[in-house]
Amino acid sequence: MTDLTDLYQEIILDHNRAPRNYGPLAEANRRALGHNPLCGDRLVLSLRVVDDRIDDIRFEGSGCAISKASASLMTEAIKGHPLAAVEALFDRFHAMLTAAPDRPVTEVGMGKLEALAGVREFPIRIKCATLPWHTLRAALASGGTATVTTE
Ligand code: ZN
């Protein structure tokens, strides 16, 4: 189990150090600003939706390692995918993070997103990990530009 924890930590550190899909996105047709006042994470998500599919997605912002790694991992996981699949993935991701800390991680097929499962042992960090996803939801629901703040 220690090896797995080390691997997860390595994934998070790597995505914090070198975030994927970072920067502005030209020709975005959805955009949302996410803010997590508990930690100070700020995130701008820009995406281009074409035919109910996430054609492209990028993010910018400043925040802790968890929020940045989560945003990076999210963009990697959903880019090119249909919106219905993205919604299903969010549900599974959210269930993983809100499960009891002592329950073994049974989620499979979530790829690198599983690296964030350890966050559930630190309740204050859960909002850092879910911020990118709530911001994504707000952007998709708005059909334009939205702002979301975690409570
Ligand atoms: Zn944070």
What would the pLDDT profile of 28-84 be if each residue is shown by its tens digit?
Answer: 999 999 999 999 999 999 999 999 999 999 999 999 999 999 999 999 999 999 999
Q: Residue 30 sits in which domain range?
A: 2-149
* Ion ligand 1, residue ranges at CB < 5 A: 39, 41, 64, 67, 128
Domain count, the chain: 1
Spatial distance between the Cα atoms of 83 and 39, rounded to a whole number of angstroms:
29
Q: What is the CATH number of the domain that holds 31?
A: 3.90.1010.10
Range name among 7-16, 30-39, 128-137 with the lowest pLDDT average: 7-16
The pLDDT value recorded for residue 106 is 64
Q: Which amino acid type is present at position 39?
A: C
Q: State in Å: Cα 86 to ligand 1 middle.
A: 23
CA–centroid distance, residue 149 to ligand 1 (Å): 13
Separation of CA 37 and ligand 1 centre (Å): 9
Helices 123-142 and 83-98, packing angle to 10 deg? 160
pTM (predicted TM-score): 0.92
From the CA of 62, how far away is ligand 1's center (Å)? Answer: 9
* CA 76/CA 79 separation, integer angstroms: 6
- Integer Rg of the chain from CA: 14
